[in-house]
Amino acid sequence: MKLSVIGCGYLGAVHASAMAELGHEVIGIDVDPGKIEQLQAGRPPFFEPGLPEVLMSARESGRLRFSTNIADAADATVHFVAVGTPQSRDGHAADLRYVDAAIDALLPHLKAGDLVVGKSTVPVGTAQRLADRIDASGSGARLAWNPEFLREGYAVKDTVEPDRLVYGVGDVRDVTVLDEVYTSAIASGTPRIVTNFPTAELVKVAANAFLATKISFINAMAEIAEVTGADVTRLADAIGHDARIGRRFLNAGVGFGGGCLPKDIRAFAARAEELGRGESVAFLKEVDAINLRRRQRVVELAQEALDGAVYGKKVAVLGVTFKPHSDDVRDSPALDVAVQLKGLGADVVVTDPEGIDNARLRHPQLLYSNVTDEALRHADLVVLVTEWPEYVALDPAHVKEIARASTIIDGRNCLDADRWKAAGWRYVGMGRT
């Protein structure tokens, strides 16, 4: 099929590359000339494992190209809208200006039978509004909503082998079109849910709200564990054996971040209030509050470890991205902790395998090192806040030799506490004994 992907950020670039790799002819469109130049050269403008290989393969096949000219999408019959929906600057609602701009730019190039497919995360009610606009244009095109469920670090796999497909359609004919797009996934038995626009819109935000709630629940239990002497990790193991609960996303620590969960739950709550049902998701405000408290708790633990004398002390912060296998520092708990410690007067040195360049653009006042040992050398305190495999695998005896510190704060509860204690460290976890 001939597809266009409007918006070549994280979602769009992955989707365009994966669709071309699956055999479709794809044109990716973005207004950023620098981004398009990189993608045309086969270089992703962000770090995502597996994407460089898929992007280069798709480019070399001749099935994938990129452009800044929306008119180049005219030959496509299916148009994916994959632009960002960031949090509004003046509130918690989603900023839909990029979605609206994408539809406005696309309208003059639509023809009868074309299908516009929304993939962006939007407030419920957006799809119907956009469908009405497309219908009023007289182009004969239609709209469907097909939310994405990508995990950063696994985005290529999640696109090629999704765990489910959701189609929000206003016309049953569009199911056949989307089935053709996703022929490979359908053939492999991927579950497919066909529903209406509001349900498809709610699926993504509901999923993110549930995951955020589960994470904040175990972090709330960590708060209780800290004042009772319980071990939240063993607690999570115990309740996770209950099939109704499950162990995944029950890892207490510094909390969630990134470009999706925080802004999506805030936008969900804001939209519910607009609909007169704010009380239905009022709990999400506490979910958000618990999440932010865990960042502050790491800072408090750092102050306690340094006996309140933070000023001038070297603090090595291991990790700056919101999760491993990504270079994304948007709403990153790790970066937030580093900035707060710097604000208290600490000499903060941050290290990270992939996120330093992005972090430096946002917070140039921090010191950065690409070499873990340099960040650790003569450190008065070590704080692990992103569970990169290389940090989990650190030799505590080696770190002891190069750092002045005797305390490590494990903001992700990912280290072997007994191993670090045996090497002479004071180990401080999040709700762990």
Active-site amino acid positions: 260
Q: Where are the alpha helices (DSSP H) in 306-344?
A: 333-343
The span from the CA of 82 to the CA of 119, in Å, is 5
The residue type of 13 is A
The residue type of 186 is I
The span from the CA of 285 to the CA of 203, in Å, is 19
Give the CA angle between residues 67, 158, 101 to the nearest 5°.
35
User: What DSSP string runs through 220-287?
Assistant: HHHHHHHHHT--HHHHHHHHHTSTTT-STT---SS---SSSHHHHHHHHHHHHHHTT-GGGGTHHHHH
Q: Are 82 and 159 in contact (CB under 8 A)?
A: no
User: What DSSP string runs through 75-110?
Assistant: T-SEEEE----PBPTTSSSB--HHHHHHHHHHGGG-
- Residue 264 dihedral angles phi and psi, to the nearest 5°: -70, -40
Nearest to 213 by CA among 256, 168, 267, 162: 256
The tokens describing 196, both together, are 């209406």
The tokens describing 354, both together, are 């992939």
Q: Are 172 and 140 in contact (CB under 8 A)?
A: no
Contacts of 154 (CB under 8 A, 6+ apart): 49, 325
CA dihedral 236, 241, 247, 253 (to 10 degrees): 10
Q: Is the Cα dihedral 214, 220, 226, 227 positive or negative?
A: negative
Q: Are 41 and 18 in contact (CB under 8 A)?
A: no
The span from the CA of 274 to the CA of 282, in Å, is 13
- Residue 369 dihedral angles phi and psi, to the nearest 5°: -140, 135
